[in-house]
Amino acid sequence: MEPAKATEQIDMATLFRAPAARAMKSLDKSLFFKVLPTSAALVSQNTLLSRYRKALEKSEELIQVEKFSPIAPHPDPEAAKAGKKCLVLKPSVDPASPETWSSVLKKGSEDGELEIIPYKADFDYTYWRYLDIMKSILPEELHDEIPSGFNTAGHVAHLNLREQYLPYKEVIGQIIIDKNPAVKTVINKIDDVGTANEFRTFNYEVLAGPDDLVVEVTEADCVFKFDYSKVYWNSKLSNEHQRLIDIFKPGEVVADVMAGIGPFAVPAGKKGVFVWANDKNPESHKYLEAAIARNKVSEFVRPFNHDGHSFIRDAADSVLEASKRKEHAVIKPPKPSRKAPPPKSPLKDILIPVPPTISHFVMNLPASALEFLHNFRGLYSGNEELFAPHTETKLPLVHAHCFAPKLNDDTTYAEVLGRIEKEIGVALQHGDGEVEGQCSIIEVRDVAPNKRMFCASFRLPASVAFAPRA
């Protein structure tokens, strides 16, 4: 019996394969209509459906295919209107040949509870998945790397199509929209982010849907609205955003040197972390301000539109001055519940002071962030008394994102550490970034066949922080 079952499984896979429509450059959905001649078991009354469904599943005669219900309306329109139903069976069950029936079907037929009839199961474009349809369209030599891993930002899906798939780009775009209800527009990048311009925006072409890139996204319970064509956003970095936010402590100060529209800054502000958030792109700064207002974190997050090189030292000076001026965030007390007794005395605002030093620097510009590290020389020159051993405060942790080639880990780590040493003049060892003289290097994600993104975290060495400013 086993070989017969294996053969039947192969036949079923073939029967449910999307119709071939090779080299289609313009989507014709009508070509994906398919009729499967099979059989069905009519039940004398619907109360028997559940019992016979279970029995026919056990006898392996019921069609069980993803996205296809084996319970169908009665093939007779009048009976269907009356609510009559049937159970769709596998093609191996022949209505004219009872020898192909199981004992379940034979007994049900003898008892007058079942009638086995020919049946036609219809399948159309809506049945098949994206990959099913693409395999039917693309030549077999292109099946290994069918474009499927696209990024999304709100209603926009963006691809980076390889040359061999460009002849099918409009079809690919339309099928993505059809098979992903949240996607309304599909675009294809036509240059590399990070190399086309300093703001990490990119040129694009619309493959399907309207040319509308004003999107709204939610991340870490914060809402961001922006023009995707004018700022940088990557939904695949949400875990990395959250990883660092989890490290930040309420009441600390974080300097976000390349803040974009605020995926680190805004959720951190919601957590009660002070953030000096900077981005050189005026459009990013505009949408950052909007996100701060919309998510009500203006007490903690301050937006800046400076060059990142100068911002590093300016932020340290600005935070210190804010602390000296006794600046603070004001937290309104929660409104008392109507059911709770009134407080004995009026609830007061909670004042959270800005501390004098920055606890973390975030530098999420992987194409060039390490080239900014020389700006940390002299960061706290003349302010040694703010840090240990004079106080319990440690020097800032620097979190710098970078790209590195796919080599063995030791070689990759050495390459990253060498680039850091070139900028700060201090050799760090791979290890725990919390420990002075060591640097943790965390892999964030693959970005290309031969390139990975990392986050290098290290505590700023005292010899760098307290060096004379150039």
| Binding site per annotation, positions for S-adenosyl-L-methionine | 241, 307-308, 364
Sign of CA dihedral 152, 153, 154, 160: negative
User: 17-47 burial string, b = 16+ CB within 10 Å, else e?
Assistant: ebeebeeeeebeeebbebebebbbbbbeeee
Rounded Cα–Cα distance for residues 61 and 92 (Å): 8
User: DSSP label at 58?
Assistant: H
Tokens, residue 414: 């050495």
The identity of residue 346, as a single letter, is P
Cβ atoms of residues 250 and 244 within 8 Å: no
What SS3 class is residue 311? Answer: helix
Rounded Cα–Cα distance for residues 270 and 275 (Å): 10
Residue list, annotated binding site: 241, 307-308, 364
Tokens, residue 232: 């940088």
Helices (H), 282-439: 282-294, 308-324, 409-424
The identity of residue 61, as a single letter, is E
Rounded Cα–Cα distance for residues 395 and 360 (Å): 9
The identity of residue 24, as a single letter, is M
Quick one: the chain helix, strand, coil %, rounded to 5?
35, 25, 40
